[in-house]
Amino acid sequence: MLSYVVRRALIGCVTLFLASFVVYGLVRAIPGDPTAFEAGGEGGARLSEEQLAELRKTYGLDRHWTVAYASWLGNLLTGDLGTSFRMRRPVATLILEAAGPTLLLSVTSLLLAYCISIPLGLHAAYRFGKADERLSAAVVYLLYSLPSYVVAIYLLLLFGVKLRWLPLSRMYGPNYDDLTTHQKLWDLAAHLVLPVTCYTYGAVAYYTRFLRANLSEVVRQDFIRTARAKGLGEGAILVRHALRSSLVPFVTMVGLSLPALFSGSVILERIFSWPGMGRLFFDAFLYRDYPLVMGLTLTFSLLVVAGTLIADVLCAAVDPRISYD
């Protein structure tokens, strides 16, 4: 088991190394470079040729990208992700600052998705094929096919523009600093409602569909018949026996759905002007902020690789039939 984890972790490191290499090459191949934004900067101060050359030198743009990549990698190994071109602050600090809002969104919605989808999945298995179950399955299917940014736009249109019940974007209201703690929490919650809804409904639909399919297969197996034969109630059978055996693939699937969560965050955070990692990535990309793009890509890829690894290991830990030797 341990040797398996170690081997997988090593492979993961190689994957990360290759991924960062590919992305670095790609980002450097993008026409236009960050000094262009500097030169036409907000202050309007025109830079001279020498200053531009100086700038390019500090950014490592004068070297071939493989050389620049090597020095980036060297710095990374000492724990230094570099400094953002645009914001002149360490990349690691920027990422850590943005991680909070993103985690707030994703963890909240992930927990919500569990709390909603597990009962829904159980209900689906309990009433499988009945009219109410088929209706809820149809609704879940519709939600599953609804793209999250379309929902985001519809919700903004309905609650933000037409009804004006909820704030349109950002994490805090304009007068946030003047509020009491209690009001601050309320303000934050109001700003959370729309983005969390957009993050959650898709996951709920996905997980519920998965549980429904999985549970309906499990309940046809012999050990469920045995449980029923010894006189257990349907509820106890579902929760204590069927759900348990469905949890293994469920855990795996949740681990594998991480990449979609990150891709989603780039679009949703942009729509809601949410100051998280997706938004940071989008801006970094727009301004060719190489160190920031690289730092964020590495973080995203690391989370994906770790998610897959954890899912596999958990799977092996829970299911005695799986051996990885």
Partner 1 sequence: MTEASPAPTAPPSRGFWRETWHRFRSERLAFAALCFIAAMGVAAVLAPFVAGTRPIVCSYKGRVYFPFLEYYFEGGQSGVFLQDGFLDSFPANLKKKDPSSWAVFPLLYVDPFRRVDADEREGQARDPSRGPPTLRNLLGTDDRGYDVLALVLYGSRTALLVGLLSMTIAAAIGVILGALAGYFGGIADLAISRAIELALSIPTIVLILALRSVIAQPNLFHLVAVIGLTRWETIARYTRAEFLRLREQDFVLAARALGSPWHRIIFRHILPNALAPVIVTLTFGIAQAILLESALSFLGFSAAGADASWGKTLSNWQSNRECWWLAVFPGLAIFLSVLAYNLIADGFQQATDPRQRN
- Find where tokens 């799977």 sit: 315
Residues 231-270 that bind partner 1 (CB under 8 A): 259, 262-263, 266-267, 270
> Rounded to the nearest whole angstrom, what is the least distance from the CB of residue 12 to partner 1 in the complex?
8
> Rounded to the nearest whole angstrom, what is the least distance from the CB of residue 61 to partner 1 in the complex?
16
Task: Report residue 20 as tokens.
Answer: 């960062």
Q: Which is nearer to partner 1, 178 or 222 (CB)?
A: 222
Instruction: Check if the beta carbon of residue 33 is closer than 8 Å to that of residue 78.
Output: no
Q: Does 4 bind partner 1 (CB under 8 A)?
A: no
Q: Does 281 bind partner 1 (CB under 8 A)?
A: yes
> Rounded to the nearest whole angstrom, what is the least distance from the CB of residue 106 to partner 1 in the complex?
13
Distance CA 300, CA 281 (A): 10
Task: Report residue 254 as tokens.
Answer: 């949740």
Where helices occur in the chain by DSSP H, the ranges are 2-29, 34-39, 49-58, 65-77, 91-126, 131-145, 148-155, 181-218, 222-229, 234-236, 243-256, 258-271, 277-286, 290-318
Residue 60, phi then psi, degrees to nearest 5: 75, 20
> Rounded to the nearest whole angstrom, what is the least distance from the CB of residue 266 to partner 1 in the complex?
5
Q: Which is nearer to partner 1, 131 or 161 (CB)?
A: 161
Enumerate the β-bridge partners of residue 83.
Answer: 90
- DSSP state, residue 227: H
> Rounded to the nearest whole angstrom, what is the least distance from the CB of residue 33 to partner 1 in the complex?
12
Q: Please select the residue that binds partner 1; options are 94, 204, 218, 305, rule is CB under 8 A.
A: 305
Stretch (H or E) spanning 5 = helix 2-29
Residues 142-171 that bind partner 1 (CB under 8 A): 142, 144-147, 149-150, 153-154, 156-157, 161-162
Q: Which is nearer to partner 1, 51 or 197 (CB)?
A: 197
- DSSP state, residue 45: P
> Rounded to the nearest whole angstrom, what is the least distance from the CB of residue 141 to partner 1 in the complex?
8
Instruction: Check if the beta carbon of residue 90 is closer than 8 Å to that of residue 81.
Output: yes
Q: Does 300 bind partner 1 (CB under 8 A)?
A: yes
Q: Which is nearer to partner 1, 23 or 227 (CB)?
A: 23
Q: Does 214 bind partner 1 (CB under 8 A)?
A: no
Residue 72 CB partners (closer than 8 Å, separation 6+): 24, 60, 82, 291, 294
Enumerate the β-bridge partners of residue 264.
Answer: none
> Rounded to the nearest whole angstrom, what is the least distance from the CB of residue 23 to partner 1 in the complex?
6
Find the helix packing angle between 181-218 and 148-155, rounded to 10°: 140
Stretch (H or E) spanning 136 = helix 131-145
- DSSP state, residue 177: G
Q: Does 282 bind partner 1 (CB under 8 A)?
A: yes
Q: Which stretch binds partner 1 (CB under 8 A): 231-239, 244-252, 300-308, 310-318?
A: 300-308
Residue 96 CB partners (closer than 8 Å, separation 6+): none
Residues 11-70 that bind partner 1 (CB under 8 A): 11, 14-16, 18-19, 22-23, 26-27, 29-31
Q: Does 122 bind partner 1 (CB under 8 A)?
A: no
Q: Which is nearer to partner 1, 31 or 44 (CB)?
A: 31
Distance CA 169, CA 11 (A): 40
Q: Does 205 bind partner 1 (CB under 8 A)?
A: no
Applying CB under 8 A, which residues contact partner 1?
11, 14-16, 18-19, 22-23, 26-27, 29-31, 141-142, 144-147, 149-150, 153-154, 156-157, 161-162, 259, 262-263, 266-267, 270, 281-282, 285, 297, 300-301, 304-305, 308
